[in-house]
Amino acid sequence: MSKKEHGPSLYYATDKNVFDALNLHKVDNPTVMELFQGRNIIVGKKNSREELARHFSRLTHDYYDHKIIANRLGISPRRERVTSMDVVTEEGFDDIKVSIEEYKKELEDSGEVVHVTRDGDSLSLNIQYSTIDYKKNELSQVQVRDGTIEFVKTDNGFTVRNTENEHLTGARDTLLGKIEKGSEKTLEKIEVSLADITSHKLRSKFFHELMLNLPGYTFKDATSVYVYKAIPEVDEEDDATDVDTHIDRIALRGKGVSRSEILNDLLDDEDFYIIKVGWKTKEDLGSGHIYDIEATFTNPKDCVGFSFILNGVFPYEDGKISSKRRSPMKAEITSISHDVEAKSRELVRVLRMESEKENE
Nearest partner of 201 among 251, 257, 258, 269, judged by Cα: 269
Q: What is the pLDDT of residues 125-174, one digit of tens each?
A: 999 987 766 666 666 666 778 899 999 999 999 999 999 999 999 999 99
Q: Can you tell me the distance from the alpha carbon of 329 to that of 335, in angstroms, rounded to the nearest whole number? A: 10
pLDDT tens digits for range 300-359: 999 999 999 999 999 998 889 999 999 999 899 999 999 999 999 999 999 999 999 887
Residue 122 carries which side chain, given as an amino acid letter? Answer: S
pLDDT value at position 1?
40
151 backbone φψ class: left, alpha, beta (φ>0; ψ -120 to 50): beta
Strands 320-321 and 316-317, how do they pair? Answer: antiparallel
How far is it, in rounded angstroms, from Cα 303 to Cα 299? 5
CA distance 221 to 256: 6
Contact assessment for residue 139 and residue 70, using Cβ atoms and an 8 Å cutoff: yes
User: Is a pLDDT exceeding 80 seen at residue 273?
Assistant: yes
pLDDT per residue as tens digits for the range 203-237? 999 999 999 999 999 999 999 999 999 887 665 55
